[in-house]
Amino acid sequence: MTRHLAALAVSLQVCIVAVSGPALADGRTGRLSVDRDVDTFASLPAGVRFPEGITANPANGDIYVGTFDGGVQNKVLRYDRHGRLLGQADFGVAPLLGLEFDSASGKVYVAVVGDFVGTGSRIQRIAADLAPGSLQDVAAIPAIGAPLPRTEGNPDGSADTITFGFGARVPNAMTFDSKGNLYVSDSFQGAIFRIANPAGCAPSCTVHTLKHDPKLATAGFPPFGANGLAFNGDESALFVANTGDDRVLRLDMAALEVSVFAESINGADGIAFDRQGTLWVAANQADEVVGLDVNGRIVARLGEFRGIRRNGTPDGLLFPASLVIVGSDIFVTNLALPLNGATGDEPEEDVTRWTVSRLKLPGHRR
């Protein structure tokens, strides 16, 4: 995988810097915690590729994984807490991105990406046991177009203007607030959508545009803007990963203003808070998961890529896309998707069997 680095950040020796926002919670600070040990939680069935979205049923520890495989039959897979495959549901050829479990209704919500311009992109849901006939539409993702251009300053005082494209509809990550409202990031339209009480309005819920902002779009690599979503403890802020910009953003829920919380996280993708207030981020271009404290500083690094095993599975993390925390464990999908179009330069090209990994939160025994 060609690793995307910002030349300016390298030249200035910039690491993770918090630029705005109050404290999130009593996060861990101090000495950097590093744990590169990674367990393989589960291997996908033969022929099932590119695990992307992940969520969990907190009541029983079941793990759900969705696939992002264009042009083939995509699936949602259900595993028990020991990594045994309990069931699977077919979703057709439209690739799947984020998954989110709704404990109140016992349903798994799924972000479905339509054709090249996003036609048919929607949110669906399915029963926790993936029972046949339980799949239901929730809402169609609206076409609101690309956000306005964005101006970025340079060290010499000049500025560059980024103009974004046509804005295909690409619903990516999802999260619920404590009132049961669902929030959806759109990586190409540069937006956060809100669906009020989807448990009661499906199959034709109204989708409200909460925020449409150029900071939520990207001209970087991988070419996905707004991605992982997570609320802080009091839900005063919604945190948003911007993958192509290598950033984690903070959306103030009162002012609805977007600011930069952390910089230079290589391919920031899925995110989740633990009980101590540490924000965990899947850095998909660094093949690791990093923990951020209340100031946006990296306080922990977990996992690494160690090569491809003889059975064709990644040893460790390879393009970690999404994560979910259950107890003291972080479960991570290894998307392992080649992106640059060249031949022979990406270890993802050598993967023949895809996996879900498991990491331990710092301070917990393996």
Q: What is the CATH number of the domain that holds 31?
A: 2.120.10.30
Please name every residue paired with 159 in a beta bridge, in sequence order, or none if there are none. Answer: 153
Per-residue pLDDT band for 288 (boundaries 50, 70, 90) equals very high
How many domains in the chain? 1
Judge whether 12 lies within some domain: no
At 4, is the pLDDT very low, low, confident or very high (cuts 50, 70, 90)? Answer: very low
**Residue 279 within a domain:** yes
Domain that holds residue 325: 20-360
Q: Is residue 91 within a helix (H) or strand (E), and if so which, with residue range?
A: strand 85-92
Token pair, residue 121, equals 């992109």
Report pLDDT digits (tens) over 274-287. Answer: 999 999 999 999 99
181-212 per-position pLDDT tens digit:
999 999 999 999 999 999 999 999 999 999 99
pLDDT of residue 118: 64
Residue 352: left (phi > 0), alpha (psi -120 to 50), or beta?
Answer: alpha
- Grouping H, G, I as helix, E, B as strand and the rest as coil, residue 348 is helix
pLDDT band for position 1 (cuts 50, 70, 90) = very low
4 occurs within a structural domain: no
Assigned domain for 213 exists:
yes
More confident residue, 21 or 72: 72
pLDDT over 70 percentage in the chain? 90
In a domain, 209, yes or no: yes
In a domain, 9, yes or no: no
Q: Is residue 8 part of a domain?
A: no
Q: Is 311 part of any domain?
A: yes
Which residue type sits at 280?
A: W
pLDDT for residue 18 is more than 80: no
Cα separation, 233 vs 139, in Å, equals 27
Residue 10 DSSP code: H
**pTM summary value:** 0.90
pLDDT bin (cut points 50, 70, 90) of residue 366 is: low
